[in-house]
């Protein structure tokens, strides 16, 4: 049974359709990366799953329980981390966590132990007596994660947890999320920092204008986005002539001179060609430098352009928002 499931989930605000028949399936233990431009429907989806919004139609389930009908049973199973921390900034860290632990019905020695445990897990023990509003943005985000771990939820819903963090804070957040996944948590995380999602998540979903464009593993999305091969070929001079020669080769779909990709060899400048090779042609990439060398060109660069999660996102979406 899936841990998170949406069936034709739809949310309307008047004439605006924020979610349009969204169908998601996230299994227990998955770390699901939710990708999409601003206004695509990511936050709306997360708030519905956190029982903070009611869907207009369709259905959303957590561990087989239906949102909107079984919210009391669902809420103890879910931890929701918004992109910005809420109020209570005049409290010290332990007061903040003990307040929420009490709200979850955790009392006495057990509450003190739980607070100490989540502070240790999020590496905030040394800030236990600091005021919340004195913490850096990164520490506040870790404190927000500590808050939702107090009741040991099975599902974590995280809306842009690394938004606005400096590089060190992002690394710390990434390592914390890895540890949570090792603990068996099911995590749905939306983010614009796509390389980190590729490292964290085993499943990715791309949403655009409230509709799911793609849902699958990171490897599957990279294969789908790889429309042929793009080779970077650098020559010392006569770049236009080199491009014309390569453009006549069988299997070459297109050749263009890179706008701002110069090369320098022994003090002499050159330019780089981006050569697109069609899939299924059986063309040997090594034919390209051989042909150029036979025509008297000096090769300064020869490499294949990798397809990562960012390039896949750009190729599979149109940049449309509501």
Domain boundary at 201, 224, 247, which?
A: 224
Same domain, yes or no: 139 and 54: yes
Domain count, the chain: 2
pLDDT tens digits, residue range 138-176?
898 899 999 999 999 999 999 988 777 778 888 888 888
86 within some domain: yes
Q: How far apart are CA 27 and CA 94, in angstroms?
A: 34
pLDDT at residue number 259: 66
pLDDT tens digits, residue range 253-273?
888 888 666 665 554 557 888
Percent of the chain whose predicted confidence (pLDDT) is above 70: 85
Asked whether the predicted pLDDT for residue 208 surpasses 50, the reply is: yes
**Domain CATH code at residue 258:** 3.30.70.1340
Same domain, yes or no: 217 and 232: no
pLDDT at residue number 81: 92
What DSSP string runs through 76-133? GGEEEE-SS--S-TTSBHHHHHHHHHHHTT--HHHHHHHHHHHHHHTT-GGGTTSBGG
Which residues share a beta bridge with 212? 207
Same domain, yes or no: 295 and 167: no
36 within some domain: yes
Same domain, yes or no: 68 and 212: yes
**Domain CATH code at residue 199:** 3.40.50.300
Same domain, yes or no: 220 and 133: yes
Domain that holds residue 293: 227-306
pLDDT tens digits, residue range 11-62?
999 888 999 999 999 999 999 999 887 788 899 999 999 999 999 999 999 9
- What are the φ and ψ backbone dihedral angles of 315, each rounded to 5 degrees? -80, -30
């Amino acid at each position: 049974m899936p841990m998170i499931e949406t069936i034709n989930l739809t949310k309307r605000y008047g004439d605006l359709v924020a979610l349009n028949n969204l169908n998601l399936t996230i299994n227990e233990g998955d770390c699901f990366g939710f990708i999409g431009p601003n206004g695509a429907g990511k936050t709306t989806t997360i708030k519905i799953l956190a029982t903070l919004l009611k869907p207009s139609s369709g259905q959303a389930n957590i561990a087989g329980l239906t949102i909107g009908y079984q919210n009391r049973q669902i809420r103890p199973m879910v931890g929701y981390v918004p992109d910005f921390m809420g109020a209570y900034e005049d409290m010290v860290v332990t007061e903040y966590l003990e307040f929420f632990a009490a709200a979850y019905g955790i009392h006495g020695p057990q509450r003190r132990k739980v607070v100490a445990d989540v502070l240790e897990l999020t590496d905030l023990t040394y800030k236990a007596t600091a005021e919340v509003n004195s913490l850096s943005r990164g520490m506040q985000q870790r404190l927000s994660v500590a808050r939702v771990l107090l009741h040991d939820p099975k599902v974590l819903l995280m809306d842009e947890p690394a938004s606005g963090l400096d590089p060190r804070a992002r690394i710390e957040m990434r390592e914390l999320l890895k540890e949570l996944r090792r603990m068996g948590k099911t995590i749905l995380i939306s983010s614009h920092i796509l390389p980190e999602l590729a490292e964290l998540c085993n499943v990715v979903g791309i949403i655009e204008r409230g509709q799911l464009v793609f849902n699958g593993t990171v490897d599957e999305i990279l294969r789908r986005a790889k429309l042929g091969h793009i080779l970077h070929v650098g020559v010392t001079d006569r770049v236009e002539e080199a491009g014309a020669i390569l453009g006549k080769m069988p299997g070459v779909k297109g050749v263009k001179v890179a706008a701002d990709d110069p090369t320098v060899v022994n003090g002499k400048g050159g330019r780089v060609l981006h050569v697109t090779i069609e899939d299924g042609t059986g063309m040997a990439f090594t034919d390209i430098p051989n042909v150029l060398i036979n025509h008297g060109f000096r090769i300064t660069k020869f490499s294949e352009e990798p397809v990562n999660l960012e390039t896949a996102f750009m190729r599979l979406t149109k940049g449309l928002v509501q």
